[in-house]
Amino acid sequence: MKLWTGRFHKELDKKTNDFNSSIRFDSRMAKEDIEGSIAHATMLGACGVIDQKEAERICAGLEGILADLESGALEIDPEAEDIHTFVEAELTARLGDAGKRLHTARSRNDQVALDDRLYLRKQCGMLYGQIKELIEVLCKKALDYKGAVMPGYTHLQRAQPITFGHHLMAYAEMFQRDLARLKDAAQRMNVCPLGSGALAGTTYPLDRAMSARLLGFDDYTHNSLDGVSDRDFCMETAAAVAIAMVHLSRFSEEIILWCSWEFKFIELDDAFSTGSSIMPQKKNPDIAELVRGKAGRAIGDLTTLLSMMKGLPLAYNKDMQEDKEAVFDAVDTLHMCLTAFVPMVDTMKVLPENMRKAAAKGFINATDCADYLVGKGLPFRDAYKVTGALVAYCIDHDLTLETLPLEEYQKFHALFAEDVYQAISLDTCVNGRKVPGGPAPENVEKEAQRVLALM
């Protein structure tokens, strides 16, 4: 039975009903819908809008429905228009008239705005926990490899020496910002739209603060039109998810590079790698690739929401039913990615010898060589030029700055002395980069401990 039968002479066309309905994807909010209804009924009873005893029966009935859904005794009717309709119809089937009073002073418009918020608030909390776990894994690994020298890159060209720990902590920074964004989104969505009605509030003397309090909200929404037509919280959640997915995707890209034979900086655990059906030697980083691929999906979800909302007049429009599939997909995607990604990173084998070998080639200590001359009094620009010429000479003669004899050095500048070898050693280069935020092992240690203490 449709909710709006009074004005209509016909049932909605069967296939059109499937098109119009949202039960396929909003039934996952059954628990939140019921919790919202319990709060609403409790408030209606307390305010005397409905009889106190009847409110109690409604709440008990709703709790019974929730228990039956959870035990499997009750199944959601796939023919129902949406979860709100289903729960109300079931309540009415169980209680008769009392069930019909639940929807007093409420519309599905404020109801769905409420359910969305309740559901996403929970999901943000879940993602928050998973990202926190990832940051902890990164900090612990960073501590293990705080002294593992590797080449840092710009333009994917070896640039300057860093430590693997420092590289991992760069991701810990990104994921901390993701945590902050999720927290921020969850906090801003934490206002209760109940009482907004369809769009224009209600004439019933509701205690909106009570409903808000019962549901753990910080406040109620302060404009009934905005209360039912705001989906900022969906967009903000999807934006936070999309940015986090971009971070995971960049990290995945590096993991994919690092486990190639060209790099071999890490090896993924067998439990997080796949093989080839034809090439017996292959070990593929499918999980990282899939995460990188799914970033596109999360970006798509955000785009869906932004473009769905951009032309909507106030207040509720049915377009907004599309909020759920997009934002749920975004949240599910990040959740699934993190579920595989966190243990993949946790179990990966790090190969510091290979990192060091790579760091030894590519003249990544050239800046330090120039700085050595600066230390002896040469202006940096001149030192830069001398070192550039040295590098060109080494390349032509298949030498490195470490293997170039001192007499050769001195042909380029008289300031070079025996201590140049110490100055350009990779460990000197890395250990000296103690500037706050720099890659020196002592910094990595401090930063990793600082971040761990925040988690």
Beta-carbon contacts of 421 under 8 Å, excluding residues fewer than 6 positions away, are 402
230 binds ligand ARG (CB under 6 A): no
Among 318, 349, 398, 453, binds ligand ARG (CB under 6 A): 318
Q: What does the angle CA 455 – CA 165 – CA 152 come to, to the nearest 5 degrees?
A: 135
**Which of 4, 233, 19 lies closest to 115 in space, CA to CA?**
233
Among 38, 91, 112, 210, binds ligand ARG (CB under 6 A): 112
Query: 326 and 305 in contact (C-beta within 8 Å)?
Result: yes
Q: Which of 222, 276, 307, 397 is catalytic?
A: 276
For ligand ARG, which stretch binds (CB under 6 A), given 66-74, 189-197, 313-321, 328-336?
Answer: 313-321
**Smallest gap from residue 85 Cβ to ligand ARG (A):** 8
Active-site residue, 40 included:
no
**Longest CA pairwise span in the chain (Å):** 101
**Smallest gap from residue 23 Cβ to ligand ARG (A):** 8
196 binds ligand ARG (CB under 6 A): no
Among 32, 33, 82, 90, binds ligand ARG (CB under 6 A): 82
**Which of 90, 151, 166 lies closest to 445 in space, CA to CA?**
166
Structure tokens at 234: 């969906």
Distance CA 142, CA 136 (A): 10
**Smallest gap from residue 313 Cβ to ligand ARG (A):** 14
**Is 88 or 178 the residue whose CB approaches ligand ARG more closely?**
88
Residue with tokens 């921020």: 184
7 binds ligand ARG (CB under 6 A): no
Structure tokens at 392: 């060109």
Relative orientation angle of helices 286-309 and 323-347, to the nearest 10 degrees: 160
Residue count at the site for ligand ARG (CB under 6 A)?
10
Structure tokens at 314: 């106030």
17 binds ligand ARG (CB under 6 A): no
**Smallest gap from residue 109 Cβ to ligand ARG (A):** 5
**Which of 63, 40, 189 lies closest to 116 in space, CA to CA?**
189
320 binds ligand ARG (CB under 6 A): yes
Residues between 90 and 109 that touch ligand ARG (CB under 6 A): 108-109
Active-site residue, 167 included:
no
Interface with ligand ARG (CB under 6 A): 22, 26, 82, 108-109, 112, 316, 318, 320-321
Catalytic positions, please?
Answer: 155, 276
